[in-house]
Amino acid sequence: MNEVGQIDVSLELGALGTVLVVIGLIFIYALRTGIPPMPSSAKVRRSMFEMLPEDLGGTVFELGSGWGTVAVPLAKLYPKCSVLGYEISPLPWLYSWFWGRGSGRGNLKFYRRDYFQADLSAAGLVVVYIHADGMAKLKPKFEAELQPGTLVLSNFFQVRGWTPIQETTVNDLHRSKVYLYRI
């Protein structure tokens, strides 16, 4: 094998190794959190944003912010609010962190930490796309920390025992539901 062939093989092995590490990290954190980092579809995001008020006070939290597809537009929609995304999985967090930095939104920050460690008491809006078990675990945190009037916007999964102030079914493949609650 000539020198060019050895370089080609080295590049292919390096690329394969990188792909395997990426897949492994996503898989490990999907097992840890119980759900893979799934971005909200464009139709669901549109429905979510249509439910939100034009003006909002307080901090906006996205819990399980994944790839940043909701937090970045929220920072644009609410330029006077701090928008904080919490994501534990390293690759989606890194992607959203770079995207957030490149967005030019000074009101946007992404944290690679467990959202259960976040103090939500300053929230004006909390956005979640978390599986049913995760929502059940978050409910007591919401009830303990969120102030009256705080909005909770949930993609697909309900907060059991709460009555939404607005609910919509998205015209997508899954007939996704979006729920808006007010504390």
pLDDT of residue 41: 87
pLDDT class of 91 with cuts at 50, 70, 90: confident
Q: List the one residue out of 175, 123, 112, 178 whose CA is nearest residue 148.
A: 123
pLDDT class of 176 with cuts at 50, 70, 90: very high
pLDDT of residue 9: 60
Q: Encode pLDDT of 119-173 as tens digits.
A: 999 999 999 998 899 899 999 999 999 999 999 999 999 999 999 999 999 998 8
The answer to whether residue 63 scores a pLDDT higher than 60 is yes
**Strand order across the 108-111 sheet:** 108-111, 83-86, 59-63, 123-128, 151-155, 177-182, 166-169
pLDDT of residue 29: 55
Tell which CATH classification among 3.40.50.150, 1.10.10.350, 3.40.50.300, 3.40.1370.10 matches the domain 42-182. 3.40.50.150
Q: Encode pLDDT of 66-76 as tens digits.
A: 999 999 999 99
Q: What is the mean pLDDT of residues 93-99?
A: 94
All structural domains of the chain with their residue ranges: 1-33, 42-182
Q: Distance (Å, rounded) from C-alpha 137 to C-alpha 60?
A: 20
Q: Distance (Å, rounded) from C-alpha 135 to C-alpha 157?
A: 7
Q: What is the 3-state composition of the chain as percent helix, strand, coil, each rounded to the nearest 5?
A: 45, 20, 40
Q: List the one residue out of 48, 53, 61 whose CA is nearest residue 123.
A: 61
Q: Strand (E) positions, 11-160?
A: 59-63, 83-86, 108-111, 123-128, 151-155
Q: Encode pLDDT of 6-61 as tens digits.
A: 566 666 665 555 555 556 655 565 656 666 666 688 999 999 999 999 999 999 99
